[in-house]
Amino acid sequence: MKEAYQLLAETLHRIPQGFNMDEGGLYLKVLKWIFTEEEATIAYQMKLIPETPEKIAKRTKMNIEYINKMLPIMDKKGQIISYRGKTKYGLMPFVVGIYEEQLDRMDAEFAKLTEEYFKESKFTELFGSKPEIFKIIPVNKVISTEISIFPYQDAEEIVNNANSWGVRECICKKQQELLENGCEYSKNVCISLSRKNNAFTDETISKPISKERAVLLLREAEEEGLIHSTMNVETGHGYICNCCSCCCGVLRGLTEYDQPNAFVNSDYIIEVTNDDCIACEICVDRCQFEALTVNDFCEVDLGKCVGCGVCAVTCDEGALMLIPRDKIKKPSKNMLTWMLKKSWKRRVNPRKAFK
């Protein structure tokens, strides 16, 4: 019989986001760090659609008292997610989900283990098919005022559409810091969003903040040179990350795996007005993807530019401006649509994950 950890890996693999099972077995070591065998035995039998403890107990043929004891523990450890005041529970994808919820538990051992696992797997299950998981949100003040933008292309609009706001430490930056590869960028910059009121009041990882503070965090991140990114959907955004390519798992994919634009959806590209450029090279230092070089004026490698616009923020001459790409890929309507498209591209049956 397969052990609980292997069965859990296979369950996570069937989820639309997928879960890499490397030949060396690092994936099992990762799961064993996060879950006890008891917890893994429950988790591999759970679904993405939230269920009551009673329904889980009946379906899995486990004792209801035991289930009622274990589920809150697993929820607190970031292994599963609770809904409706902890009356229902569901499984999460490994990324974005279980891994990010290990923020408070992460230590140097786990940081090293996940680094080895990520480098071995290269996120091929998640990154290897469309639709992309991340959408780059441009710095709107460097988009021409003549261009109309959609709400999902506007970070402040996404914040305004939420009813609760939180901030948490970036797990990618924490991991790299534990590996002694930390950077100088701010760490408490990940914005959590919810359509529910007071969603983060009782949270331990995402600390509740006001809408005004969330907007200010966006502006501070832009000035610092961090890159706005969120889930590649039109509505229902649960977060805005303010990322750096030295720590972010997704953006590192662009730089370390030499596949620019393969993992993110980007609607814009930077354009240079040569007559205004004074070749100061400030933009070169701001670009995290080595997309800019300066000779007589700034030149753009369109294959590396992700259209974030952070290079243009500090261009006092106004020589840099974001313009739309020739082909803009509209994101999925919502998370469910994204997951169904991902399942189809990965050739997995979503019914097994949801029902």
Question: What domains are there in the chain, each with its CATH number?
Answer: 4-124+346-354 (1.10.10), 134-324 (no CATH)
pTM for the complete prediction? 0.92
What is the pLDDT, as a whole number, of residue 111? 98
| DSSP assignment letter at 137 | P
- The answer to whether the CB of 8 falls within 8 A of the CB of 92 is no
Question: Which ranges in 106-225 belong to alpha helices (H)?
Answer: 108-121, 124-127, 155-160, 171-178, 211-224
Position 351 scores a pLDDT of: 76
Would you say residue 258 has pLDDT above 70? no
**β-bridge pairing 320-324 and 190-194:** unpaired
User: How many percent of the chain have pLDDT more than 70?
Assistant: 97
- 184-200 pLDDT, tens digit per residue, is 999 999 999 999 999 99
CB 293 within 8 A of CB 328: no
Q: Are the C-beta atoms of residues 310 and 355 closer than 8 Å to each other? A: no
Of 310, 306, 312, whose CA–CA distance to 273 is shortest? 312
The mean pLDDT of the chain is 93
Q: What is the pLDDT of residues 27-58, one digit of tens each?
A: 999 999 999 999 999 999 999 999 999 999 99
Helix, strand or coil, per DSSP, at residue 215 = helix
Tell me how far apart the alpha carbons of residues 223 and 226 are, in angstroms, rounded to a whole number: 8
Residue at 353: amino acid letter: A
**Predicted local distance difference test score (pLDDT) of residue 261:** 54
pLDDT band of 1, cuts 50, 70, 90: low
Closest of 280, 279, 284 to residue 301, by C-alpha: 284
